[in-house]
Amino acid sequence: MASLEFLDLSGVDISSSVPRFLANFSSLRHIELRDCQLRDEFPSAVFHLPKLKHLSMGNNSNLTGFLPEFHNTSLLEKLYLFSTGFAGIIPESISNLNHLKVLSLQSCHFSGHIPGSLPNLTQLTYLGLSKNELAGLVPSLVSLSKLTILDLAYNKFEKGSMYGWINKLTNLNELYLDSMNIHDEILPYLANLTKLSIVSMSQNFIYGSIPSSFTNLTQLIVIDLKINQLQGQYLALF
């Protein structure tokens, strides 16, 4: 077992805590323990396994824990903690995860601000922070040009009107910004994001009208803008 590299028990009803000795398997590259009914506090030493690239603990609602201070020697590429009891802040040292492509922290209990260092994660293709208790202002994510999915919905952000950086994220396929206290004429920023298939920005204070340039978004299959302050005629655009 000392040379174990791949561990996948997803969907197995383990119904126990994560054993601390898991952090002793220094050859582990891939850990998949989602949907296992895990509980109690996650041993933070697992985050520091020297060869770990994939860590998935999602859909374990009774699993608690905190993000550690990350080291720049980490090889982690994919981190899935969605729908768990993880809480606390997202540390500034998250930017030390130089290889990170997927950060999935939806439906947890994270609080504080989005760290100012997060835009340094320039390899990210998926950023999911929705349904937490994050506050403050959303920083510019213009440097995350590889993002295909951005999900920041349903947090406690302050009133914001500086979202022009979105028009630089030209690889976006899915955009979720619901209930984010957005006070901006944000829709023109999306007009050149021609890969978009889903736009969900309901329950904000978005004003203006849907620009005619939206007809360029030929991949759109879902657009949800309900409960905003939009004006004008829309059906002719579609």
| Position 234 confidence tier, pLDDT thresholds 50, 70, 90 | low
Residue 155 lies in a domain: yes
Residue 1 lies in a domain: no
pLDDT, average across residues 81-108? 99
- For the beta sheet containing 222-224, the strands, ordered from the edge strand earlier in sequence to the opposite edge, are 6-8, 30-32, 54-56, 78-80, 102-104, 126-128, 149-151, 174-176, 198-200, 222-224
When divided into structural domains, the chain yields a total of 1
High-pLDDT (> 90) share of the chain, %: 86
pLDDT, average across residues 47-68? 98
- CA dist., res. 94 & res. 76, Å (int): 11
| Position 238 confidence tier, pLDDT thresholds 50, 70, 90 | low
Residue 190 lies in a domain: yes
- CA dist., res. 148 & res. 222, Å (int): 16
Domain at 120, CATH number: 3.80.10.10
Q: What is the pLDDT of residue 232?
A: 73
Count the alpha carbons within 13 Å of 43 in the hemisphere toward its beta carbon: 13
In the predicted structure, residue 235 carries a pLDDT above the cut 60: no
Residue 138 lies in a domain: yes
Structural domain boundaries enclosing 171 = 6-237
Can you give the pTM of this predicted structure?
Answer: 0.95
| Position 237 confidence tier, pLDDT thresholds 50, 70, 90 | low
Residue 62 lies in a domain: yes
Q: What is the pLDDT of residue 129?
A: 99
Q: What is the pLDDT of residue 214?
A: 86
In the predicted structure, residue 236 carries a pLDDT above the cut 90: no
Residue 52 lies in a domain: yes
| Residue 180: DSSP 8-state | S
Q: What is the mean pLDDT of the chain?
A: 95
Retrieve residue 180's tokens.
């984010």
17-55 pLDDT tens trace: 999 999 999 999 999 999 999 999 999 999 999 999 999
99-152 pLDDT tens trace: 999 999 999 999 999 999 999 999 999 999 999 999 999 999 999 999 999 999
Residue 96 lies in a domain: yes
Residue 25 lies in a domain: yes
pLDDT, average across residues 191-207? 95
